[in-house]
Amino acid sequence: MIHVLLRIAVWVSVFTVGYLIFGPELFDSSDDKSPFTTETKLYLPPAKPKRLVEYEAAFAAGTLAPDAQADYQAMLKAYQADFWQGRDLSVAEALAGVEQGRRAHLMDLLADRGLSGQEAGIFMMVVDRDKPELLRDPE
């Protein structure tokens, strides 16, 4: 009997500590009150520098000069490091006011920023997975 009372006391103390640390939201299972989830914004990737686009075209054609490969690799690494940083315009802000063809409008924005078809496809897949409500046309 004492073992049962000790176990109950331990669990009560664990829940009490959790309540004191996280507050009443710890026991609320709705997504908007959970202390473990945060609302994140999804940002558009940065625009590619024109020189990087030229290097990519030359690389794809096989005409990239050997002395330019180091510069191309450095620019590509810097761009990839900034790709998911989210410093510019959010997707929601970019699609504000667009009532019809939100998906096509976002693809046009990505193309204007110099993203390849594969990069734009990956970005659209992430938007579809994480924020599908952004791509739905309001009716």
What tens digit of pLDDT does each residue of 85-100 get? 767 788 888 888 888 8
Q: Rounded to two decimals, what is the model's pTM?
A: 0.63
- Domain match, 86 and 57 both: yes
CA separation for the pair 91, 108 (Å, rounded) = 13
Would you list the DSSP string of 4-18? HHHHHHHHHHHHHHH
- Domain match, 66 and 109 both: yes
Distances (CA, A) of 98 to 10, 83, 123, 138: 55, 24, 19, 9
In a domain, 130, yes or no: yes
- Reading the block at residue 11, the tokens are 């669990």
CA separation for the pair 113, 44 (Å, rounded) = 9
R_g of the chain, CA atoms, integer Å: 24
- Reading the block at residue 120, the tokens are 């734009």
Amino acid at 18: G
Q: How many domains does the chain have?
A: 2
Parent domain of 17: 2-33
- What angle (nearest 5°) sits at the alpha carbon of residue 73, between those of residues 67 and 77? 160
CA separation for the pair 23, 2 (Å, rounded) = 30
- Domain match, 18 and 60 both: no
- Output DSSP code: residue 100: S
- Domain match, 26 and 54 both: no
User: Any idea how long the chain is?
Assistant: 139
Sorted by sequence, the CB contacts under 8 Å of residue 54 that are 6+ apart come out as: none
- Domain match, 71 and 120 both: yes
- Domain match, 25 and 85 both: no
In a structure prediction context, what are the per-residue pLDDT tens digits for the chain, which is 139 residues long? 888 899 999 998 988 888 788 777 666 655 555 555 556 778 888 888 899 888 888 988 988 888 888 898 998 888 888 877 767 788 888 888 888 888 888 899 999 988 888 888 988 898 888 888 888 877 6
- Domain match, 17 and 68 both: no
